[in-house]
Chain A
Amino acid sequence: MSDETKNGTSRRGFLRQAALTGAGIVAGATTARASEPDPKITEVQEWATAFGDPVDAAPYGTPIRFESHVVRRNVEWLTESPVSSINFTPIHALEGTITPQGCAFERHHSGAIELSKQDYRLMINGLVEKPLVFTFEDLLRFPRTINTAFLECAANGGMEWGGAQLEGCQFTQGMIHNMEYTGVPLRLLLEEAGVKPEGKWIYAEGADASSNGRSIPIEKALDDVMVAFFANGEALRKEHGYPVRLVVPGWEGNMWIKWLRRIGVYDKAVESREETSKYTDLMPDGRARKWTWTMDTKSVITSPSPQAPIRHGKGPLVLTGLAWSGNGKIKRVDVSLDGGVNWQEARISGDIKSKALTRFHLDIDWDGSEMLLQSRAIDETGYVQPTKDALREIRGLNNVYHNNGIQTWWVKADGEVENVEVA
């Protein structure tokens, strides 16, 4: 076939395809019978005749360019400096439960530092028999464990305490990621140093300028806290703490110390800046809760959502979302189409892991009418995700952190979706 013929075919094909597309939008895009053959099928496409990329084109691949919307995003006005700031995971566009590391959210207090394995040191000191220094090579020789866990920023949804503010679950629920970690139980490192009986707290701090020191009770430290160096199969990303971070299953993200450089053992909590000034939750009487470590049961419908409008018209519609609990496994997720008046049980897809993201689906036949979508997670302790109003009734409006209230999406007749509150 000559180039001339091929080009001619392609041009005709493009025009015909454009006409079909226009017709589809007008008709509302329900099940269609083809009025004429689809050139994507009847004409030989470029990729069906020529070569694609060779295997040496991308030694470490990145997503195809058509997925360029699936990236971290930040909201500049939320913080005064981009090195002590937050960005958001594109959860509106993801499925399953594992977060791709390259678009998993970041929260730094003095930027993402570069720390090589050669320069890395971990110190254990304080109320121990023998204070120790480990190199990265030392850490690789300890027995390993694997755990999949969500890391949710304590402030996830915090901007929504006072009302519906940001448009899209990436922004309202996207300070979260979920990875499969491999590392060493912190217990083994502490045993190597020998914790004295009066050692009731550990204080973990990072190698960065902010240090991000946090106190953790010894019971938790000896239970399921991990010193991790692999996430989703490979080394941690720089921005996630390379080469070593703390994994603190079920607990607020601030405690997952990155670029971990020291574990101090003390008889009391340090009451550092990150557990006094920050990560304390102001209550209506002017006092504040401290040490609100656990992230309570929560869920969100990721599609449809403001960044994932319905464009395919009436008929079959997949509702997909995420549920999670810092207190254990998700037991059930209910979905409401009418703003919480009536509920039906959604389907849990895939494995349910403790203190990890869990995927749910509900397949409905959309008749094109408006909906007020909500999801309500229930965990194995029987805790039922509360409404925002139920939380505010107890906590008021200035808690800042720990907003696990039920999210409402207003699906309009044209398929556009808004972040709203209802009453």
Chain B
Amino acid sequence: TPALAEKLGLGRPALPEEISAWDVAILPDGTGLRPGSGDVATGDEVFAEKCATCHGEFAEGLDAWPVLAGGEGTLTDRRPVKTIGSYWPYLSTVWDYVHRSMPFGSAQTVTVDETYAITAFLLYSNGLVDEDFTLSNENFKDIVLPNADGFYVDDRPETEYPKFRVEPCMKDCGPAVKVTKRAAELKVTPTDADGRPAGTIPAYDEASAAEPAAP
């Protein structure tokens, strides 16, 4: 529409300090990296202080918290262990995510140098660098994670859509089927007091009697 062809003149220019404060994203080619460095030993100390209570002293994960190291070669297992070392493609993501969103519950409290150090420690925990390694904005791009080539762009349009875009069978589509798996046998769904799946619609002749009076 003609009215929209011209700018409306809304908003105001963003200042460099504002962009610097909010645009902290790092791209796989290193775009966005800030000058700084950190070594494995420093990373070990920072990790022990800020990360290990959830992710373990060796980034191996405590209880059900995410495992950050290990799992190499498990991606075709029945239960794969997907970690930074076994699964993640890019080191940029590690730096970016830790810097912006960790520690869980007190994000954006690690400095640039601390983030380099933690990232170096995570590389060490995954067996990818020696213990005297120092990571910096200078050598960052030299690091290639093991699963860098492990991903490909969505190919459903080629591998699935032609298979599924066919006129479906309507009658006598095969032999009679039988039940092979039942969720009821696992009993992992939250239940109501009567043992039914939580949220089951009440029977209509019981509903008003079963409900508590409004406060």
6 nearest CB pairs, A to B: A286-B75, A209-B107, A339-B177, A419-B183, A132-B11, A131-B14
Q: How far is the CA of A73 from the CA of B189 in the complex (A)?
A: 11
> Could you pull out 5 A-B pairs where Cβ atoms are within 8 angstroms?
A81-B104, A165-B186, A165-B188, A276-B93, A282-B82
Q: How far is the CA of A308 from the CA of B200 in the complex (A)?
A: 6
Contact assessment for A342 and B173 in the assembled complex, using a CB-CB cutoff below 8 Å: yes
A224 within 8 A of B: no
Q: How far is the CA of A343 from the CA of B203 in the complex (A)?
A: 30
CB distance from A76 to the nearest CB of B (A): 8
Q: Given known contacts A285-B76, A342-B173, A381-B165, is B150 in contact with A167 (CB within 8 Å)?
A: no
| In the complex, chain B residues whose CB is within 8 Å of the CB of A92 | 199, 201
Q: How far is the CA of A374 from the CA of B88 in the complex (A)?
A: 38
B90 within 8 A of A: yes
Contact assessment for A138 and B168 in the assembled complex, using a CB-CB cutoff below 8 Å: no
Contact assessment for A211 and B101 in the assembled complex, using a CB-CB cutoff below 8 Å: yes
Bits for B184-201, please: 1 = Cβ < 8 Å to A, else 0: 101011100000111111
Q: A168-B189, A292-B154, A307-B198 are in contact. List 6 more A-B contacts (CB 8 A).
A: A165-B186, A170-B199, A306-B200, A307-B199, A307-B201, A334-B168
A96 within 8 A of B: no
| In the complex, chain B residues whose CB is within 8 Å of the CB of A264 | 23, 25
CB distance from B109 to the nearest CB of A (A): 10
Contact assessment for A80 and B64 in the assembled complex, using a CB-CB cutoff below 8 Å: yes
Residue among A25, A134, A273, A289 making CB contact with B11, cutoff 8 Å: A134
| In the complex, chain B residues whose CB is within 8 Å of the CB of A130 | 13
Q: How far is the CA of A90 from the CA of B76 in the complex (A)?
A: 35
Q: How far is the CA of A284 from the CA of B204 in the complex (A)?
A: 48
Bits for A117-160, please: 1 = Cβ < 8 Å to B, else 0: 00000011110001111100010011100000000000000000
| In the complex, chain A residues whose CB is within 8 Å of the CB of B140 | none
Contact assessment for B199 and A272 in the assembled complex, using a CB-CB cutoff below 8 Å: no
Contact assessment for B14 and A125 in the assembled complex, using a CB-CB cutoff below 8 Å: yes
Q: How far is the CA of A308 from the CA of B4 in the complex (A)?
A: 50
Contact assessment for A277 and B87 in the assembled complex, using a CB-CB cutoff below 8 Å: yes
Contact assessment for B174 and A341 in the assembled complex, using a CB-CB cutoff below 8 Å: yes
Contact assessment for A66 and B189 in the assembled complex, using a CB-CB cutoff below 8 Å: no
Q: How far is the CA of A286 from the CA of B87 in the complex (A)?
A: 10
Nearest CB in chain A to that of B198: its residue: A73
Q: How far is the CA of A131 from the CA of B11 in the complex (A)?
A: 10
Residues of chain B from 123 to 177 with CB closer than 8 A to chain A in the complex: 150-156, 159-161, 163-166, 168-177
A309 within 8 A of B: yes
B positions within 8 Å CB-CB of A: 3-4, 7-8, 10-14, 18-19, 22-23, 25-29, 31, 63-66, 75-76, 78-80, 82, 84, 87-90, 92-93, 96-97, 100-101, 104-105, 107-108, 150-156, 159-161, 163-166, 168-184, 186, 188-190, 196-205, 207-208, 211-214
Contact assessment for A384 and B188 in the assembled complex, using a CB-CB cutoff below 8 Å: no
Bits for A1-41, please: 1 = Cβ < 8 Å to B, else 0: 00000000000000000000100110000000000000000
| In the complex, chain B residues whose CB is within 8 Å of the CB of A273 | 93, 96-97, 101
A positions within 8 Å CB-CB of B: 21, 24-25, 65-66, 68-71, 73-77, 80-81, 84, 90, 92-93, 109-110, 123-126, 130-134, 138, 141-143, 163-168, 170-171, 188, 191-194, 203, 205, 209-211, 213, 261-262, 264, 266, 268-273, 276-277, 280, 282, 284-294, 296, 303, 306-309, 311, 334, 338-344, 372, 376, 378, 381-386, 390, 394, 397-398, 410, 418-423
Contact assessment for B27 and A271 in the assembled complex, using a CB-CB cutoff below 8 Å: yes
| In the complex, chain B residues whose CB is within 8 Å of the CB of A382 | 165-166
Contact assessment for A306 and B197 in the assembled complex, using a CB-CB cutoff below 8 Å: yes
CB distance from B106 to the nearest CB of A (A): 8
Q: How far is the CA of A30 from the CA of B109 in the complex (A)?
A: 66
| In the complex, chain B residues whose CB is within 8 Å of the CB of A168 | 189, 197-200
Contact assessment for B184 and A141 in the assembled complex, using a CB-CB cutoff below 8 Å: no
Q: How far is the CA of A296 from the CA of B163 in the complex (A)?
A: 13
Q: How far is the CA of A166 from the CA of B197 in the complex (A)?
A: 9
CB distance from A410 to the nearest CB of B (A): 6
Contact assessment for A341 and B173 in the assembled complex, using a CB-CB cutoff below 8 Å: yes
Contact assessment for B176 and A341 in the assembled complex, using a CB-CB cutoff below 8 Å: yes
Q: Given known contacts A282-B80, A338-B176, is B201 in contact with A271 (CB within 8 Å)?
A: no
